[in-house]
A and B are shown apart, each in its own frame.
Chain A
Amino acid sequence: MKIAVDAMGGDNAPQVVVEGIEKARDEWSDLEFVLYGDEEQIKKYLKDSKNITIVHTDEEILGTDEPVKAIRSKKNSSMVRAAKSVKDGETDALFSLGNTGALLAAGIFIVGRIKQVDRPALMPTLPVTNSPLGVNILDVGANAEAKATYLQQWAVMGSIYATDVKQIKEPRVALLNNGTEEDKGDTLHKEAFDLLKNTEEINFIGNVESGDLLAGVADVIVTDGFTGNAALKATEGTATILLKELKKALMDNGIFTKLGAAIVAPSLKGIKDMFDTSRAGGAVLLGLKSPVIKAHGAANVETIFYTVKQIYDMLLNDTVNKANTYFEKMNKEK
């Protein structure tokens, strides 16, 4: 199994990428890695080249580049070369910390969609209050518009992923909506509800509201990309502001509050650990012919290590082909 790595993407590339990949290589001896990027810079951080090949590239896709234009014009960039190697069958999966839009474009237009999947979806793992496994939510923004059939396809793929990678038997699949009752939502969500209810292969448990995203009420939450993106950013933004305000309240209110803060610090660390998502790896672009995974631009060595584990699990379980087989069967039965 060979993983194509865009070594130049992310805030601390290539150092953190190389260190994370070396850690993963030391853990799984049957994995090989091809690092695409500036050879000189990569070599500076690479301690041992066992199972690691470097392919030199001299272009870089920047965070500010327009995605489709970038992948069409920067053909010798680390991301495009890595995607091309997956397309040509030289490698089995693509991993990047780079520009999300460009990676989506590289995934859709270079690696390619599974024929039966209308649109791929971006699926991160979010922490939940009652399980270290977290919740998978898709789509969080690969598509600005959606049809009910897309949501049905995403539900099936998300469910297969949760079974394979997170080893959850019969994962609970829910639809993000503006109320829990069956008749809630606009036409799209009502149609999606009916389709999901009648999809035998998934364990559909009904609607969930955005306030319950992190409450651990479902294993997979399906949503259109627009709503998913808004809900994700609102959740992240609220958490960030809350933590900042809490810190300010504890540190800026005199010596007694500071003393109190020191006493509750261990309990607060427990909350911080609960929301540490590095073990969940990266966000998967589901619906493509091979696994394509995006880790956060600021990801650390630990996150990169766990993202490789995530890819490894998808390859071992043949997760992509399972979805493919399911949709082929579904199309024949139509």
Chain B
Amino acid sequence: MSEQEIFDKITALLADKFEVDKATIKKETSFTKDLDADSIDLVEFVLELEEEFGAEIPDEDAEKILTVGDAVTYISNHTK
């Protein structure tokens, strides 16, 4: 899966979850600063990522995913 495909899937997921316009989500979008995500939102998002991409994301890696770009890179590096 290309990075663009991953990005598209993640933005669709976030647009639905945070009820925001897909077009406003960029790679630099921060979950906490721009989407006002709290700790529950973040865990839910990590679980959704695992389900969507069939990946296992350990807690210590999840803590480093702060922006949309971080999520895209992580998924790209950890899925076939």
Contact = CB atoms under 8 A, between A and B. Distances in A.
A108 B41 CA distance: 10
A329 interface: no
A69 B44 CA distance: 13
A72 interface: yes
A109 B59 contact: no
Contact of B47 (A69, A109, A143): A109
A212 B12 CA distance: 47
Given A69-B59, A72-B59, A109 B38 contact: no
A145 interface: yes
Interface string A61-75: 000000011001000
Contacts of B40: 108, 119, 143
Contacts of B47: 109
Most buried by B among A68, A69, A72, A105: A72
Contacts of B43: 68, 105, 109
Give the dominant DSSP class at B's interface: helix
A143 B47 CA distance: 19
A145 B40 CA distance: 11
Interface residues of A, number: 10
A105 B38 CA distance: 14
Interface residues of B, number: 6
A219 B2 CA distance: 55
A103 to B, nearest CB: 15
Interface centre among A68, A69, A143 (most CB of B within 10 A): A68
A68 to B, nearest CB: 6
Contacts of A145: 38
Interface in B4-40: 38, 40
A105 B40 CA distance: 9
Nearest to A143: B40
Most buried by A among B38, B40, B47, B59: B40
Nearest to B17: A115
A109 B45 CA distance: 10
A138 B59 CA distance: 30
A316 B38 CA distance: 34
Contacts of A72: 59
B63 to A, nearest CB: 12
Interface string A144-159: 0100000000000000
A143 B41 CA distance: 12
A140 to B, nearest CB: 17
Contacts of B38: 145
Contacts of A143: 40
B59 A108 contact: no
Interface of B: 38, 40, 43-44, 47, 59
Interface of A: 68-69, 72, 105, 108-109, 113, 119, 143, 145
User: Which 5 interchain pairs have the tightest Cβ spacing?
Assistant: A109-B47, A68-B43, A109-B43, A108-B40, A69-B59
14 contacts: A68-B43, A68-B59, A69-B59, A72-B59, A105-B43, A108-B40, A108-B44, A109-B43, A109-B44, A109-B47, A113-B44, A119-B40, A143-B40, A145-B38
Given A68-B43, A72-B59, A108-B40, 11 more contacts: A68-B59, A69-B59, A105-B43, A108-B44, A109-B43, A109-B44, A109-B47, A113-B44, A119-B40, A143-B40, A145-B38
